[in-house]
């Protein structure tokens, strides 16, 4: 069933009359409905056990909250999808909300994938690494972890406890001597033959046992081995085993809460105050606490916490694997429906519980306390940011405090590997999930102006068709990575450029070319002798000006400028490091780790291989005449 294309009648009751017309043809069946405004934008997505009854309730002229009344009046069209069951409707609703990001729905702001620990299974000496994204590589995946920091800390401890390698397969194949990690007792050096495959396999099994919750058995085994080594007067081995036991004890202590009554669960706790809500999520896997993360979903200020949590849960698990147990700090209306939907999707039983007593309740209460504290911190920071944004509006002549500030900077070395960085700030402070980097492609040489023009041209090209968003809570829908072309970035209220009149002129040129108007843009350049505190600010059509050295807005703008500089430099270094690590032989079909190693040992460097003749290449063991000709032609294409 689809939406009609007939224009709605005019008048203040347009929405209600239109909905009443739509209800006539709706079935008494489960499904999902979309409300659409005059611009064709989806403003709300909802599910229903009975579409006719649920949508018909909107046609009534009374009993609605102010938010629902506004939504009804803005509705100019509707679309419907009938489903086989209410559980299917719930899953489809979550998917459509994440796709359309309607302004009247509760929206999960940050939907990045969570990191995992991967114990590879495609090599005789498995590698242990952090992994994010599709699970395409063969091996065992442990997670999710709440953050990259949580994974990094656990990996460091696991390296000390189990001495597993973290280097890539190509590095392992090319090394002949142990690296520094072996010297500091974080690797058993299989690259140099310091451990055989069987002994390394035993370490892998211990690590797997620890990550799947059998940590006590691993510790007891190591303890017995340590005592046996000490009894045999092998004190060096006993000391190594003691250090491994200490490392395991450290990771267990640093995890804080380690449950005894369940092995895996996600714990959700909600706290709301002054129209804002924090949802704290704890991850438990293998009987261990693998970190927590705070979310601040976007929603109407009048929405109660249980309603926000209920809407958040389905979006959270859209595209993510659910554990066998989900614990909630407070009950939600759709708890049983969510359990049924996740069980259907996972093809195994998933329980969603609101515990009332015991250890599960204690953990849920602890998570709720974390949610309250995170919300209080956020609101305190928001109050301070509000004062600063009022000052920014005064300095740059804005009509209201900016809800979104974008700051741009470029980084390169003599034009090599140039990268542009964009950071975002607003009432919530730095919005790091909305940062973007631009690998500059067309700007030639050491031309900062051309680089800035390219970055902003690409940004404004996607911005030019974006509607002006409402201010307030609706102005915080996240901007996605450059690859997410389906999402149009939100308009900023203020753009800051790290640079003087030249960079500002390039930015204005890009803005005019894209047809973008109504955004205040300013440049920040260093003052005389490049002294901090004497920065010049440049606005179109106005002479440059400076702020008082102790002006709080000056300190704030300096922080934004420095953050953009840090982000651009970091992105440039990452791109440069990747280019340094890239080997030109990797792009040639038929060249694997063994042949690459043979070529490098024979010629000494990639440059020498590039300059070698086909006959010289064919003289290397394992390189046929045909492959030698392919290598020769590759470097001369």
Quote the Cα angle for 48-49-53, to 5°.
75
The CATH number covering residue 359 comes to: 3.30.420
Q: Which of 231, 254, 277 is the last residue of a domain?
A: 254
The CA R_g of the chain, rounded to the nearest whole Å, is 29
Is residue 608 located within the same domain as residue 558?
no
Quote the longest CA-to-CA distance of the chain. 93
The answer to whether residue 425 sits within a structural domain is: yes
Is residue 188 located within the same domain as residue 248?
yes
Is residue 168 located within the same domain as residue 298?
no
The answer to whether residue 406 sits within a structural domain is: yes
What's the total number of domains in the chain? 5
Q: What is the pLDDT of residues 372-420, one digit of tens each?
A: 998 988 887 778 888 899 999 999 999 899 999 999 988 877 657 788 8
pLDDT confidence of 13, banded at 50, 70, 90? very low
Is residue 194 located within the same domain as residue 63?
no
Higher pLDDT, 475 or 387: 387
Residue-level pLDDT at 530: 55
Q: Do residues 599 and 610 touch, judged by C-beta distance below 8 A?
A: no
Q: Do residues 117 and 291 touch, judged by C-beta distance below 8 A?
A: no
The answer to whether residue 336 sits within a structural domain is: yes
The answer to whether residue 243 sits within a structural domain is: yes
Q: Which of 234, 254, 274 is the last residue of a domain?
A: 254
pLDDT at 12 over 90: no
Q: Do residues 348 and 248 touch, judged by C-beta distance below 8 A?
A: no
The answer to whether residue 110 sits within a structural domain is: no
Range of the domain at 38: 14-100
Cα gap 1→572, rounded to integer Å: 50
87-98 burial, b at 16+ Cβ within 10 Å, e below that, comes to bbbbbbbbbbbb
The answer to whether residue 184 sits within a structural domain is: yes
- The candidate with the shortest Cα–Cα distance to 155, out of 194, 198, 187, is 187
Q: Which of 100, 131, 157 is the last residue of a domain?
A: 100
Cα gap 36→254, rounded to integer Å: 49
Q: What is the pLDDT of residues 257-276, one digit of tens each?
A: 567 788 899 999 999 988 88
Residue-level pLDDT at 79: 93
Is residue 273 located within the same domain as residue 332?
yes
Is residue 150 located within the same domain as residue 71?
no
The answer to whether residue 409 sits within a structural domain is: yes
pLDDT, mean of residues 105-129: 86
Is residue 365 located within the same domain as residue 289?
yes
Is residue 504 located within the same domain as residue 372?
no
Residue-level pLDDT at 483: 33
The CATH number covering residue 31 comes to: 3.40.1440.10
* β-strand pairing of 139-142 with 276-285: unpaired
Is residue 338 located within the same domain as residue 411?
no
The pTM score is 0.66
Q: What is the pLDDT of residues 138-152, one digit of tens each?
A: 999 988 888 887 788
The answer to whether residue 128 sits within a structural domain is: yes
Is residue 401 located within the same domain as residue 531?
yes
Is residue 549 located within the same domain as residue 426?
yes
The CATH number covering residue 599 comes to: 1.10.150.20
Residue-level pLDDT at 8: 41
Is residue 130 located within the same domain as residue 248?
yes
């Amino acid at each position: 069933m689809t939406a009609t294309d007939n224009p709605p009648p005019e008048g203040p009751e347009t929405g209600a009359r239109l909905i009443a017309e739509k209800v006539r043809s709706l079935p008494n069946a489960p499904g999902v409905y979309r409300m659409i405004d005059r611009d064709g934008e989806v403003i709300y997505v909802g599910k229903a056990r009975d579409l006719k009854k649920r949508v018909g309730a909107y046609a009534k002229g009374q009993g609605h909250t102010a938010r629902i009344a506004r939504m009804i009046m803005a509705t100019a069209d509707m679309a419907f999808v009938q489903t086989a069951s209410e559980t299917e409707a719930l899953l489809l609703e979550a998917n459509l909300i994440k796709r359309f990001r309607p302004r009247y729905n509760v929206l999960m702001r940050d939907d990045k994938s969570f990191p995992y620990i991967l114990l590879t299974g495609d090599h005789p000496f498995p590698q242990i690494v952090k992994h994010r994204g599709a699970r395409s590589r063969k091996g065992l995946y442990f997670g999710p972890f709440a953050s990259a920091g949580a994974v990094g800390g656990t990996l460091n401890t696991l390296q000390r406890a189990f001495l597993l390698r973290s280097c890539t397969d190509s590095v392992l194949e090319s090394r002949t001597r142990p690296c520094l990690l072996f010297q500091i007792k974080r690797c058993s050096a299989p690259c140099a033959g310091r451990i055989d495959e069987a002994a390394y396999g035993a370490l892998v099994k211990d690590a797997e046992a620890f990550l799947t919750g059998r940590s006590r058995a691993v510790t007891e085994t190591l303890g017995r081995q340590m005592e046996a080594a000490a009894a045999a007067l092998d004190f060096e081995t006993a000391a190594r085993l003691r250090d491994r036991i200490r490392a395991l004890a450290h990771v267990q202590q640093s995890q804080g809460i380690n449950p005894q009554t369940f092995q895996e669960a996600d714990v959700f706790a909600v706290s709301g105050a002054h129209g804002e809500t924090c949802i704290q999520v704890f991850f438990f896997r293998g009987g261990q606490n693998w970190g927590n993360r705070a979310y601040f979903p976007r929603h109407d200020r009048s929405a109660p916490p249980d309603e926000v949590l209920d809407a958040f849960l389905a979006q959270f698990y859209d595209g993510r694997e659910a554990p066998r147990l989900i614990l909630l700090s407070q009950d939600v209306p759709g708890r049983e429906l969510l359990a049924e939907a996740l069980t259907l999707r996972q093809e195994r039983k998933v329980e969603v519980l609101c515990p009332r007593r015991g250890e599960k309740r204690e953990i849920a209460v602890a998570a709720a306390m974390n949610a309250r504290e995170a919300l209080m911190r956020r609101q305190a920071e928001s109050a301070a940011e509000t004062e600063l944004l009022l000052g920014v509006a005064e300095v740059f002549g804005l009509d209201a405090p900016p809800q979104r500030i974008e700051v741009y900077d470029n980084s390169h070395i003599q034009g090599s590997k140039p990268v542009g960085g964009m950071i975002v700030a607003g009432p919530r402070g730095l919005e790091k999930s909305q940062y973007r980097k631009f690998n500059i492609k067309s700007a030639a040489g050491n031309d900062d102006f051309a680089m800035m023009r390219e970055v902003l041209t690409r940004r404004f090209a996607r911005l030019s068709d974006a509607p002006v968003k409402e201010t307030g809570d609706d102005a915080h829908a996240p901007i996605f990575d450059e690859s997410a072309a389906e999402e149009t970035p939100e308009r900023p209220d203020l753009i800051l450029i790290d640079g003087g009149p030249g960079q500002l002129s390039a930015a204005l040129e890009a803005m005019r070319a894209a047809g973008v108007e109504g955004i205040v843009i300013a440049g920040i350049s260093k003052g005389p002798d490049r002294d901090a505190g004497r920065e010049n600010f440049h606005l179109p059509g106005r002479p440059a000006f400076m702020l008082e050295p102790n002006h709080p807005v000056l300190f704030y703008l300096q922080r934004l400028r420095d953050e953009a500089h840090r982000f651009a430099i970091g992105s440039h270094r990452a791109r440069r490091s990747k280019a340094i690590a890239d080997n030109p032989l990797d792009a040639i079909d038929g060249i694997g780790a063994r042949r690459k190693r043979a070529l490098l040992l024979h010629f000494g460097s990639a440059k020498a291989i590039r300059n070698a003749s086909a006959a010289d290449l064919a003289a290397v063991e394992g390189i046929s005449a045909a492959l030698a000709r392919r290598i020769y032609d590759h470097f001369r294409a």
